[in-house]
A and B are shown apart, each in its own frame.
Chain A
Amino acid sequence: MKRALCILAVVAVLTTGATGQVRPDTAGGEQAQAKKTLDTYCVGCHNSRVKAGELALDTLSLDAVHQNSDVWEKAIRKLRGRLMPPPTSRQPDQREIDAFVTWMEAQLDLTSGGPVTGHVPAQRLSRTEFATSVNDLLGIELDATQILPAEIEVNGFENIATALTVSPAFLDQYVAGARLAAKLAVGDPTKMTSATYLLPPSEQPDHVDGLPLGTRGGMKFRHNFPADGEYRITILDLGIDLYSRVLDTRHRVVILVDGREVFRSELGGTDDLRTVDRKGAPGRAEVTSRFANLPVQVKAGIHDVAVTFIERARVQSDEFVGFLPGDEFSRGDREPRLVSGVKVDGPFNSTGVSDTPSRRKIFVCRPDSKTPERTCARRIAGNLARGAFRRPITEQDVDGLMPFFNKGRESSFDAGVEQLVAAVLVSPEFLYRTIHTPAAPSTGAIRPATTNPAGGSAAYALTDLELASRLSFFLWSQGPDETLLAIAASGKLSALPALQAQAQRMLKDPRASRLVRNFAIRALDLDKLNQVAPDPNLFPTFSDALRRDMSTEVESFISSILLEDRDVGDLLTADHTFLNDRLAKHYGIPSVYGPQFRRVTLDDPRRWGLMGKGAVLLRTSYGDRTSPVLRGAWVLGKLMGTPPTPPPPDVDTDLSQPKGEAPKTLRARLEQHRSKAGCNQCHGVIDPIGLALENFDAVGRWRDVDQEAKAPIDARTVLPNGSRVNGPAELRDALFGGRDLFVRAFTEKLMMYALGRELQAYDMPQVRAVVRRAAAQDHRLSAIVSGIVSTDAFRMQAPPAPQPGVQVAMGRLKAAPTTGKGD
């Protein structure tokens, strides 16, 4: 009893202290109502006797909710998603749930004398961050997936500190990657390179987007030519197969570099046909060899290369209009096409390395009569290191790099610089992002932290430079640019207005587009579409090209909302999308011509928003059927932030049609399963959401009839909150009519991504504060980002969790830091 009194007293003190005003009587009406709700709907299962889900709520006092904040945060999350009480139990109406949740959140927000931030350990750059940073520093275009191993993902994100371990394979590939980057950036006339560009698997399009009009098929790619000189381009396979119908007629092959034609030759016609007819495979090799090792003079740098065919007027040929049986032997082709890809070797007979954007970035000076070599080299080293190490550079930093220059200088100045670049990139100051501890201020730290005056083990502020890193990796997936670095180095970044101003500047920069792929696509689990393989027998019109189109569509759509700073809730309700002809045809949308993507307004509200996007609908299906369960779980987890618990291990998931029975719709089969109480507990919440989306088939097309059961699709369901919906548009309105739910889920994930750690119960009051303030600005991304960077969680670091056996007072009863949580 005494303890309870003490706690009450402290609560009262905190209540006054933290907000500066006295809150309304919480021990009165609202708390009593909350207790009543708990007792009526929850405690029946969640008590110390039964302990359903290992949770007992009857012993927890509502007077001091902060003592069990992790329990209550979980509880209100379940309530928001209507996952609890389970459908098999008595349901409170939505108003009662809202009242409970509102009251509980207010209590949790009030009484946070506990931690205001977590601990993020030293972390290395993820492979995406590495490649993005290197590309920005050096002006090259590395592909992260080609040079480093895959990362372990946490909730779909690659950048979570505790998962970024280092293996020998990583280190090996990392050092090799650094050397390669240096070579590509500086250029090297002495080393031969070879790169093969593979065609993405699919049928060849009639016209590749980005190639000149009047060309047919082919491919284009960007290649980094390390030096000036002759390069030899080899077309690996032209589709000249067994019966060589492709050589019936003459075609012209062209190669373009940066849009300029550098090669043109003819393929096919009587002579070639005769060669292949008479000599068989050696004849084919002879014809193909005319397109191998084609010499092209190219200057150093990254250039667009295109290999394609000139489109010939169809009337010029006497081809059949349709395909014949027996064409299986010869791929059915009537004209040559690129089959595997293109190889580029070189340089041969290099004449040196002329200026390229990457060289301009690196060579900030040139040795000449006024500048001795060593001075210039030191300047180059210092400039590179500043950007790479994300801090001002000392003489010692440069001294440590010069031995590498000296070694390379034995060959040439440029070779010395190449060694310098490699040495910078392997430095741990580049690979690792660290946050200092108050006892040991970091080197170059601007404004070492002032700890919370109340005690040595409380949270402390990040330095300006640490903030700059965190901010730029958050918004750009790379280190700070010079503008941000300069502000941080002069100690002016940690002031809130400056921090917010920089965040806004960076959001408007094109580099903010990385948020789309590295954050949004991953948060929505849309980055692994190729793990769903639609059965070609059931979905003959589906192809890998269509899958790529779906990726492009959803990425463009998300970009248009986030990067145009619209209300993030528009991700669910916006009436536009981005289509090319193939995807439009797939959806049944008329009048979209050409392979290029363009913005299209959707007349049909059932398609609006993320839930109508092919990528989402494909990802939440199996190869042979839709899965209302996957779709329901996806909406609950990704859009509502209230994921269902995973299924128990030995559950029966067979939904296939029993032999001998008339085929039933998927809905009917699911309903059969839900007739068991143990299943209905969760599926009573999950399935109705997915069933409302049943009109979208496994590859995202609209359907009114279930082909297997020959029955119309019935998309009417009753959501757990009682609303009756019919189809995707009504589902969307019912779940997301109020933006709050989605914005909250979005903000939580964005915060996790920004911090590089999973969120804990003590982060939630700050998340809620960000959402509230963003509401005043229409939930725009800029407002949410502004809110996130202002939180203590973003700007401060907590000491690591105490080791077992060591007692550390976590400052629970101390006043909240004066920097405040905003609001």
Chain B
Amino acid sequence: MFLPKRHLSRRTVLKGAGITLALPLLDAMVPAATALAQTAAAPTMRMGFFYIPHGAIMGNTSHGPEMDKWTPSGAGADFKLSPILKSLEPYKKYVSSFGNLQNQAMVGGVHGFAPATWLSGHRPDKGSVGASMSTTLDQVVAQHIGQNTTLPSLEVSSETTQQAAACSGSACFYNTTLSFRDAHSPLPMEFNPRKVFAMLFGEGDTLEERAAIQDQTRSLLDRITGNTRALQRDLGANDRRVLDAYLETVREIERRVNLASSRDLSMITVPEAPMGELNAFGDQVDLMFDLIALAYQADLTRVASYIMVAEGTNRTYNHIGVSDSFHPVSHHANEIGRLEKLVKIQTWHVERFAAFVKKLAAVKDGDGTLLDHSMFLYGSNMSNSDKHNGYPLPTVLVGGGNGKLRGSQHIDPGQPTPIANLHLTILDRINARQEQFGDSTGLIANM
């Protein structure tokens, strides 16, 4: 991919397998004196949604509670993490896990509905032509806290989400993404790190270059708007609506361009762009985490959604000694060998997430760290991968939440509760209270 540049040497190179961001480097990238720094008075919230397919090994296999490797227990000083979540031990005080959560919206869809209904609690209308979902949580959050950043939200994945085993029926709307802007607008999850980089940093080395590009983009967007309106005049009502949706998207990009032009990004030292997808899966997963961390730090976005592993993937995990394909082995049929392999895989996924958490725990952000001012939802929209059921969902919330999360506890509402209640409670914590979200029935107490 071409990156037009004027000064080739004036870039700091990020080396190593994947990209290891040296933290002192990051501090230098965002000097405290700039407008991008936090004021101690009102740190902004960061949110992240990290999705794993195929559930977790919990108490609902045929082996019962002894085989539950996911569910933590206790609270406060007695809070004990499970084997799968062990790598989050240093950050226990930031961890809240949840029991008794269910998602009716994914039931019956096997894999096909799982990603898109995780953050929506809304069952797709199978009879509709075209996508029929609802605005997902990350996008609602972005509407509230993401309007002042270049990217209201960032949607990424580690690999292509177009997987044959996951597609339900003929159209693959609901297994390829976590995010819907509205009922009919799925957002693509980008898995090419180079493109993610381009989305974050755009083009142009110098201030003049960036201004020229933004100018040109504005004129082009104007043209799109004008010509699309003209085109609409000759179309039927349905087609006019299709182009209305297009115009809405144009307006959103215009807004972002105007926002970007009012920010002074010259203080950021932009790193060298990654070359492309990495072969080693672990490196690829980590690289995406690094780009998200970079985006938070440079305040290029405050909301990120990340499909860490694609639904229905056939990927193998040779690097941790599991040579089976993930999706087939997730059909464990309660066989102990397979359950153990799944626990290994699930533990490894949490380790990747924990490394990300560790990074953010070390980044100064106003009077605390980035982790203090974040809420990260990590989990799956499936429970028992052999049954493809939606209860109980393995779910943890990690971060300080600007002081609004108690942490260090396992919360169990006592009866099957829609995960949408958790979504609603998350919205409550960013002062975006709603009556209802998805199939929610209320808030989750003591969070």
Contacts and interface: CB of A to CB of B under 8 A. Distances in A.
A192 B8 contact: yes
Interface string A169-187: 1111101101110011000
A166 interface: yes
A672 interface: no
A441 B234 contact: yes
B163 to A, nearest CB: 7
A538 B168 CA distance: 31
Contacts of B441: none
Given A184-B2, A426-B220, A432-B243, A152 B325 contact: no
B5 A175 contact: no
Nearest 10 interchain pairs by C-beta: A654-B333, A149-B188, A437-B236, A122-B239, A162-B130, A649-B388, A653-B331, A650-B387, A428-B228, A154-B171
B283 interface: no
A654 B389 contact: no
Interface string B324-337: 11001001110101
A89 B243 CA distance: 52
B217 interface: yes
A423 B223 contact: yes
Given A152-B172, A622-B314, A198 B275 contact: yes
Nearest to B225: A428
Contacts of B108: 649
Given A194-B3, A195-B2, A345-B8, A169 B236 contact: no
A184 B4 CA distance: 11
12 contacts: A121-B242, A153-B162, A163-B130, A175-B221, A179-B220, A193-B5, A422-B216, A535-B318, A538-B323, A622-B325, A622-B328, A652-B386
B338 interface: yes
B253 interface: yes
A818 interface: no
Interface in A169-226: 169-173, 175-176, 178-180, 183-184, 191-196, 198, 201
B334 to A, nearest CB: 8
Interface string A603-628: 00000000000000000001110000
Interface of A: 119, 121-124, 145-147, 149-150, 152-155, 160, 162-163, 165-173, 175-176, 178-180, 183-184, 191-196, 198, 201, 340-341, 345, 400, 403-404, 407, 419, 422-423, 426-429, 432, 434-437, 439-443, 525, 528, 531-533, 535-538, 622-624, 646, 649-650, 652-654, 656, 659, 758, 799-801
Interface in B304-359: 313-316, 318, 323-325, 328, 331-333, 335, 337-338
Given A195-B2, A622-B328, A653-B331, A426 B223 contact: yes
Contact of A432 (B198, B231, B337): B231
B206 interface: no
Interface stretch (B50-58, B244-252, B289-297): B244-252
Contacts of A440: 233-236
B446 interface: no
A198 B279 CA distance: 11
Given A192-B4, A535-B316, A656-B338, A160 B171 contact: yes
B210 interface: no
A167 B227 contact: no
A427 B227 contact: yes
A406 to B, nearest CB: 11
Contacts of B181: 167-168
B389 A427 contact: no
With most chain B CB atoms within 10 A of its CB, the pick from A193, A340, A623 is A623
Contact of B219 (A172, A341, A404): A404
Given A432-B243, A437-B235, A194 B184 contact: no
A145 B277 CA distance: 12
Nearest to A799: B236
A162 B318 CA distance: 39
Contacts of B216: 179, 407, 419, 422
A170 B198 contact: no
Contacts of A528: 160, 162, 164
Contact of A653 (B186, B315, B328): B328
B129 interface: yes
A532 B314 contact: yes
A407 B216 CA distance: 9
B253 A443 contact: no
A768 B124 CA distance: 34
B38 interface: no
Contacts of B8: 192, 194, 345
B195 A165 contact: no
A427 B223 contact: yes
A118 to B, nearest CB: 10
B231 A536 contact: no
A171 B332 CA distance: 42
Contacts of A646: 110, 168
Given A193-B4, A432-B243, A434-B235, A165 B275 contact: no
Interface string B73-109: 0000000000000000000000000000000000010
B contact residues, range: 35 or more
Contacts of B236: 437, 439-440, 799-800
A588 to B, nearest CB: 25
Contact of A191 (B6, B163, B226): B6
Given A192-B4, A194-B2, A168 B220 contact: no
With most chain A CB atoms within 10 A of its CB, the pick from B170, B276, B279 is B170
Interface string B101-121: 000000010100000000000
Contact of B171 (A163, A169, A193, A652): A163
B162 to A, nearest CB: 6
Interface in B159-180: 160-164, 167-168, 170-173, 176
Nearest to A180: B2
Nearest to A169: B188
A533 B5 CA distance: 38
A679 B195 CA distance: 45
Given A196-B275, A341-B275, A624-B325, 13 more contacts: A146-B194, A154-B172, A155-B170, A162-B130, A165-B130, A165-B186, A165-B245, A169-B199, A178-B220, A428-B228, A434-B235, A436-B235, A646-B168
B104 to A, nearest CB: 14
A427 B222 CA distance: 10
B256 interface: yes
A229 to B, nearest CB: 14
A331 to B, nearest CB: 15
Contacts of A622: 314, 325, 328
A122 B235 CA distance: 9
Nearest to B3: A194
A169 B190 contact: yes
A194 B9 CA distance: 12
Contacts of A162: 129-130, 171
Contact of B249 (A168, A403, A427, A437): A168
Given A168-B256, A646-B110, A434 B239 contact: yes
B314 A623 contact: yes
B189 to A, nearest CB: 9
Given A169-B187, A623-B323, A153 B172 contact: yes
A531 B163 contact: yes
A525 B164 contact: yes
B27 interface: no
Contact of A800 (B192, B238, B314): B238
Nearest to A625: B328
Contacts of A121: 238-239, 242
Contacts of B242: 121-123
B46 to A, nearest CB: 20
Contact of A166 (B249, B256, B335): B249
Contacts of B110: 646, 649
A168 B314 CA distance: 30
Contacts of B148: none
Nearest to B165: A531
B211 interface: no
